[in-house]
């Protein structure tokens, strides 16, 4: 496996958790502020982080 790919595989779960926590925080603040745009943005951020993590997990077990 390529060295850069190994580094990316090690870093991606940490970044995914960071993005999920950021999305949850943004969602809470959006609900408190009654801001629908920020709420939708935070939900997209959470879903994108979850999808990237699950794709990495599937790829990791296939290699």
User: Residue ranges of the domains in the chain?
Assistant: 15-57
Given this model, what pLDDT does residue 32 score?
Answer: 92
- Give the number of residues written for the chain: 63
CA 26, 28, 33: angle at the middle one, nearest 5?
90
The set of residues, in sequence order, having a beta carbon less than 8 Å from that of 53 and lying 6+ positions away, is 12, 13, 16
| pTM for the predicted model, two decimal places | 0.73
Among 13-17, 29-33, 39-43, which is the least confidently predicted range? 13-17
Q: Compute the average pLDDT of residues 13-19.
A: 87
Q: Compute the average pLDDT of residues 41-47.
A: 91
Flag whether pLDDT at 59 surpasses 70: no
């Amino acid at each position: 496996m390529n060295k850069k790919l190994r580094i990316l595989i090690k870093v991606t779960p940490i970044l995914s958790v960071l993005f999920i926590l950021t999305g949850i925080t943004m969602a809470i603040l959006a609900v408190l502020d009654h801001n629908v745009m920020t709420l939708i943005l935070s939900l997209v951020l959470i879903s994108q982080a979850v999808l990237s993590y699950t794709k990495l997990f599937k790829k990791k077990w296939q290699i």
